[in-house]
Amino acid sequence: MPANHNFSKLARQPAYRAVSEKIRQVILSGELQAGDMLPTELELADQFGVTRSTLREAIRLLEDSGIIGRTDRKRLVVTLPQTATIGRSVSSAMLMHRVTFEELWQVAMGLEPLAGKLACASATADDKQRLAANLQLTATVLDDHKRLLEAEIEFHNLVASATHNYALLQARAPLNDLFYPAWGAVIRALSPGQRILVAHQKVFDAICNNQPKEAERWMEKHMIDFRRGIEMGNLGFHQPVTSAANSDPQN
């Protein structure tokens, strides 16, 4: 009987992965900052001692994370990842895991009231103005299901943005892609426009008057309304959400 020592399976990584890791590392270390231009593919390939094909594969790995991109269809440039870019990966993962509306709702219950609360302290005049504009818009599209949903999503984005907390923005990104779009069915079924507007108005007032508790409370009410809407409409609160937003422009 052999001695029972298990060697850990040694994992050599292919060159394209090593290259991508190295670039990522240099960027994260701050040695390269957002906006910095990278050399051409050929020169980069030379520096790493690989072919352009291999280098391009490495680039793709980073491209999806949104930490590098192309300027005007040419040079490679280090970019600050956009919430939406990352969000898409996260949303894909959630779709594959068949995340239910309930699960998303629970997260929303944790983050949206928090966003409302934090926004009170950090919202700028600009933020408030954008919120005001959104409210005005909402009032005019109460019966236009499609545009009402858009306004609804924008409102919650504006509140989250007003916190100026990127970690929070990132954490709630999947709500944009999966939670609110799924709620479109409720809007079509129950036409709760008026009720939405009131909640938004209350949150907005609380933010303007710097009343964190109020903002939190109304956002929470609003979220509970969401849940009730889904349940009343019998729209699958415990079902996996689907990617209604998965419209591909081309082809």
Partner DNA sequence: TATTGACATATTGTAGGACAATGGGTCAAT
Partner DNA sequence: ATTGACCCATTGTCCTACAATATGTCAATA
Residues engaged in binding DNA (CB under 7 A):
14-16, 40-42, 49-54, 56-57, 70, 72-76
CA-to-CA separations, 251 to 85, 203, 245, 248, in angstroms, rounded:
21, 41, 16, 7
Site string (100-139) toward a second copy, x via CB under 8 A: ---xx-xx-xxx--x---x---------------------
Alpha-carbon dihedral sign for residues 47, 51, 56, 58: negative
For the chain, the first-to-last Cα distance in angstroms comes to 61
Among 64, 126, 143, 144, binds a second copy (CB under 8 A): 64
Give the interface size with a second copy as a residue count (CB under 8 A). 57
Of a second copy, DNA, none, which one sits near residue 41, judging by CB under 5 to 8 A according to partner kind?
Answer: DNA
Query: If you write DSSP's letter for every residue of 129-167 in order, what string do you get?
Result: HHHHHHHHHHHHTTT-HHHHHHHHHHHHHHHHHHTT-HH
Contacts to a second copy by CB under 8 A: 13, 16, 18, 21-22, 24-25, 27-28, 34, 53, 56-58, 60-67, 80-81, 86, 89-90, 92-97, 99, 103-104, 106-107, 109-111, 114, 118, 163, 165-168, 170-172, 174, 243, 246, 248, 250-251
